[in-house]
Structure 1
Amino acid sequence: MEKWQVYMKIKQLKEQGFKIRRIARKLGISRNTVYKYLKKSPEEMAAWAASTKTRTKKLDAYEMVIHTWLSEHPDASSAQIHDWLLEDYPKFKVGASTVRSYVKELREKYAIPKETHQRAYQAIPDPPMGKQAQVDFGKTNQRTPQGKYIKLYFISFVLSHSRYKYVEWLDRPFTTKDVIRMHEHAFAYFGGMPDELVFDQDALLMVSENAGDLILTEAFQAYREARKLKVHFCRKADPESKGRIENVVGYVKGNFAKHRIFQSIDVWNENCKSWLERTGNRKVHNTTKKRPVEVFALEKQHLKPVIKEFTISNVNSSITRTVRKDNTIVYQSNRYSVPLGTYQKDKNVYIEITADNRLIIRNQSDGPIIANHLITFERGKLIQDRQHTRDRNKGITAYIATVSSYFTDEETAMSFLEEIHSRYPRYIRDQLGIVLKVSKAAAQADRDEALGECVKRGIYSATEYSDVLAFIQRQQQQGESKHVDEEIKALHDIDSSLLDTQPETRELARYLDVLKGATV
């Protein structure tokens, strides 16, 4: 829509009493744009609109380049065009939204519609009565009377032939136990069971597709066997294969839940059942041109009877999750930590969601709790228990305590090693390793004396401690006094006595005797 047309629409809606927010929503523009247009008189708006058509645009210099790309690749997106410009022109500094608008204008100017590769669909006849039901999950954000928002979750069922529906809600994420219970409610609502149930690959129901040999969760597998259900799981990223239930999910969100105020979960479910009876199952279906409730009256006779009640008290309500290498699991697009060392290849843990929105994690379905987190409703977050993080100082402290135990005066040794730690924090393990290695090979008295000399002379290095200890051991081997009388210098110091050292001299006659008989 041209700027002048938008301006006139805004003026008309404003005169009709529409608020700024409504005008913006109705025209698909921002409120700032509405305010800006309302401040302009018709003359100012006409002049401004005309100037926008004649003024030079930032991307005009790249018009032919972009036109070439669009001609060669009609399916290229504006984001790709933006990236190619950044790649070919390092000094290019234009925002993505500007590129998007410019690409749109060029497509219209040069008649280059964006190509899309759509999947070819084929109409499939409705399955026989009682043959199939499709199942899927959904969630919405609903406003409360206090003006806050709460996230609600629902499961929906639809009989594929009659389009007869059932929906049930929770104010927390589902567990497998919840799903089983709601299957029972749906069968009771339908008055029987279909021959086949069609699902998405949901973690509540299936662990792995396993190349066709489906591996279901323990609880749902037990339920499937008890009810003798025939189940079919759609392939990943293929919602079209269960289009009937996808339409139901959208219908529930757009017709029942949209703009509805949430009071309590019980009232919400009661209102949803009333909606099903009043609208969801009574309104003429757009495809079949029949009322689902009327077709269901015939299909109900073809459903398998539910003979005995299924007890779910002994069904495990846990959901499995795979432990990642960083000792976290993923739930609702967030990462939750587990204790270090939990990870093993193909390791699964069991999670359970409590009524107060806490995530319980266990190694076994009925085992002790290894993690307990408060569930966040944001996305991409890392929720980490401090007890699950590595205490990097704890290992060093224990190492220092181990090395100091090789000395008689452990307190002095501890202080000596702590000083080395402060000077060589990045290499402390290497430093401690050297001290431990040479101390183990030395006598108790020798390592104690070496420690004392290092502390006395302010030497805080594992390699220099090793040199001091080696010097003491050499003195012992030479039978000299065990106590060090001469000053011991660190490696980085210069011994001034070396500067006074004179070479040994001999008489010339000795060299002549050696050279007797030699020829030149």
Structure 2
Amino acid sequence: MTQPRSRVDLYAAIRRDARSGMSNRALQRKHGVGFRTVTAALESAWPKERKQPPKRGSRLDAYRVVIDDWLRSDLDAPRKQRHTAKRIFDRLLDEHDGAGVVSYWMVREYVATRRREIRVEVGREPANAFIPQEHLPGREAEVDFGDVAIRLRGELVTCALFSLRLSYSGKAVHRVSASAGQEAFFEGHVHAFNVLGGVPTGKIRYDNLKAAVASVIGSRPFRPSRSRPAAGSPRAWTGTPRSRSG
């Protein structure tokens, strides 16, 4: 018989069969467990938590206080006078009889982690922090517009991929275009809004705006200006050179 997925289910099955009159030995054979497991299941429906083995000490434990003192003294020392992992290792060998006890790689790994921890403890460096993002339904979206390689008629072709993703639900709409022109950029928006059935009420964050910003040719900037769109097409943008006076 296949054993239940969890120990809780296993204990429940053993206790259920025991109530039907099965002996301890029969329970062992049916569920493929030993005497101790059956006894424990009959004593309690909840398995006992497994004892965590004690954490094994490191040969570096005897030197941690010394290393920490050296690293703290480096906080106010000139940059070129601070302890490197190699310097700490050499001092342990020369001043604290560390030969044959600690290795360079052991010291290097500890120093790489502990140096930053000490800087955080004294306020010299900010601690790692994670700020969860919260989004309201239908309020925000993210847009990415970049290259994508597809195989067209047996040949690998580079096209433009427009992606709009709602921040709350993660629902995304994609559209592939032959070029990365502004028309494709605007058509991607129209297509996404039609598929989603509306427009985000808050804001849209853009990751790649090469097709949406004004072009700069040499030292002459181009000012984006509206051109009259064709009937039924998204509004297009063209660049017209800014005249220089004086």
TM exceeding 0.5: no
| TM-score (normalised: structure 2) | 0.39
Of structures 1 and 2, the one with the larger relative CO (CA 8 A, separation 6+) is: 2
| TM-score (normalised: structure 1) | 0.20
